[in-house]
Amino acid sequence: MISYFDNLRQDEKDLMYRAPVLVAILIAGADDKFDKKEIKEALNISQLKQVKARRILIDYYAEVGKDFEYNLIEEIATLPREARKRNPVIIEELEKLNLVLPKLDKKFAIQYYDSMIDIAKRIATASGGILGYLSVGFEESKLVELKMIRNPGKPK
């Protein structure tokens, strides 16, 4: 377990560990289809972040990475199939982070938030586009900034 989570309830800890998977599904499935490149990028990110994440997040991503692929598959199977039904469910879950992040060490919370944004952007650009243009689709572009999560580093 991550020491930064010691003062969190179990459901809050679960959400913290679940969030990267939810972000991956939200962005990869934003246009109602899961692009193989985006899913592959999500899996690559889960592995890469275990060794190349910000130092404060290494242990967190080591824990997340253990079951990332399994959890991704499970969440996709459990959530509604259509993006118009699935996205509001995911957004509602991610909004709960707004109650959890203030309970954490501020530096950890800021790095965690920045990392979620990084995941979203990397998955959104994974499909490529035409010669690097239009690499983020319209639906993804509306979600990639994860505006449902407040930046813990900025005043309210």
Closest CA to 34 of 88, 84, 81: 81
Q: For 32, left (φ over 0), alpha (ψ -120 to 50), or beta?
A: left
Q: What is the phi/psi pair of residue 133, to 5°?
A: -90, 155
Q: What is the pLDDT of residue 83?
A: 93
Q: What is the pLDDT of residue 30?
A: 87
Query: Residue 130's beta-bridge partner residues?
Result: 133
Do 83 and 27 contact (CB within 8 A), yes or no?
Answer: no
Give the global pTM: 0.91
Please list the ranges in the chain whose pLDDT falls under 50: 129-134
Do 92 and 153 contact (CB within 8 A), yes or no?
Answer: no
Domain regions of the chain by residue span: 9-143
Cα gap 21→25, rounded to integer Å? 6
Cα gap 39→129, rounded to integer Å? 16
